[in-house]
Structure 1
Amino acid sequence: MDRAALFDVDGTLVDTNHLHVVTWWEAFRQAGHRVPMHAVHRSVGLGSADLIAHLLGDDRDKDEDDALAAAHSALYGQYFDRLPAFADAGRLLRRLHGDGWTVVLATSASGPELGALRRAIDADDAIAGIASADDVSAGKPAPEPVEHALELAGAPAGDAVFVGDTVWDMRAGRRAGVRCVGVLSGGIPRADLQEAGADTVYDDPAHLLASLADSPLA
């Protein structure tokens, strides 16, 4: 049975969280909503519909949701040709692949955005599959993205590790029954990741790669 190394993408492998913060903030501003950037930052990692609901509440004008999501996509899309992967992100995936792990991405991205992220990571040769927003009915913190990633990997939860940068990642992984590893590269505090379910926390992909022998991915 394969061992599965499951990875979130934004904030975990690619340095995009603050781009999402600014472009979501601008999308809200254009629609007349004042949403603090710190609140947007804490919501990054949710799918678009869930992020809007989380920040604007259930009493919002839901007819506006699609326009807000489209505005964010258009603003964020301006950066697709220069999304920066974190140092050693691709090397980490290739090392795990070489060590016998089945590497699968579990992300709320899809379509052209997902393509831009994959180009930034530049490690398709090490990636066995991708569980994207198009593949599940509920995004993180629901367990479905991680469960679908497990299906793609052909591995049971007990033989899998999920690496992510947000509390939504950690909660999704815990609900799916996998071990969770947090990284600080998305800007969420260590204590928050641990409280949400991280077994251990590293600074970023380079730190995890350097510490691999003593990590849950050993």
Structure 2
Amino acid sequence: MDAEALIDDLRARGLSRPVALLLDWDNTLIDSWHAIHDAQNHTLATFGLEPWSLEEIRKRVRGSMRDSYPQLFGDRWLEAGEVFYRRFAERHLETLVPLPGVPEMLRDLHEAGLYVAVVSNKKGDYLRAEAAKLGWQRWIGRLVGAFDASRDKPAVEPVHLALEGSGITPGTQVWFAGDADIDIECAVNAGCVPILVREEPPATDEFPDHPPALHVDGCMTLSNVLQKL
């Protein structure tokens, strides 16, 4: 469905242009899977566990470290986290790849007066370092990562922190866009409009509890919809 058809559908459902857009980071704005894959497998090997394929990484890396690592590493999850981040810190800035249309989208939406923030389950320090490396902070109101709020996605606290100081409260005037089920769930939990951003459309019954209000195939389409809505 092209941007014009998406806009007609949104208007028919009573949805209008938001005042704020919250965005996931990894696999929504940038491709950093190779750095994550390398650091995760280094950590698994350090603790005597089998490596994951890149496809497994893409499917299994959803929650934040403090939510997912205790299940993998038990009482040693903090130690495992240190191993992961030491490895990740060595190379993540050198392997950043912006996804198509992202810099243009961030610039155009900022210039159009839309409040834009990022809510990620990547550790906040690394998230902000990556944004600085790319020069994107000038277009982003706040970058919220794992451990910045009292809880991480899909909890609502990171959403509240991302909007803090903007004068905007969660609701249908705030869209939350990301590529994963945890982003859609977080949007619904916070009362925002959930937007699925990825090339493939959602499968039947893929999101039974938290269906996205809109699917777009990438940030260029999302930007077109927002600017014309």
TM-score by length of 2: 0.78
Distance 1:28 1:145, change over 3 A: same
Unaligned runs of 5+ in 1: none
Could you report, residue by residue, the CA deviation over 1:150-194 in whole angstroms, capped at 9, with x for unpaired residues? 334321222100111111111111100000111126xx8723765
Amino acid at match of 2:33: N
Question: Alpha-carbon deviations, 1:43-86, whole Å to 9, x = none?
Answer: 323111212134x2xxx531x11121112112222232331111
Describe the superposition over 1:72-107 as per-residue Cα deviations: whole angstroms up to 9, x where unpaired.
Answer: 112222232331111221211111112221111112
- 8 A Cα contact 2:175 2:195, kept in partner: yes
For residues 170 and 118 of structure 1, do their structure 2 counterparts lie closer, same or farther at Cα, with a shift above 3 Å needed? same
CA contact (8 A) 1:90 1:122 kept: no
Within 5 Å, give how 1:103-182 maps onto structure 2.
103-110=116-123, 112-158=125-171, 159-182=173-196
Structure with greater Cα Rg:
2
> Residues 1-218 of structure 1: matches in 2 within 5 Å?
3-34=19-50, 36-37=52-53, 38-54=55-71, 56=72, 61-62=74-75, 64-77=76-89, 78-110=91-123, 112-158=125-171, 159-184=173-198, 190-191=202-203, 194-195=207-208, 196-213=210-227, 218=229
Higher helix share: 1
1:82 and 1:39, CA in 2 relative to 1: closer, same or farther beyond 3 A?
closer
SS of the residue corresponding to residue 50 of structure 1 reads helix
Identity %: 24
Matched residues, number: 207
TM superposition score normalised by structure 1: 0.82
3-state SS of paired residue (1:104): strand
Q: 1:111 to 1:142 in 2, by over 3 A?
A: closer
Aligned-residue RMSD, C-alpha: 2.5
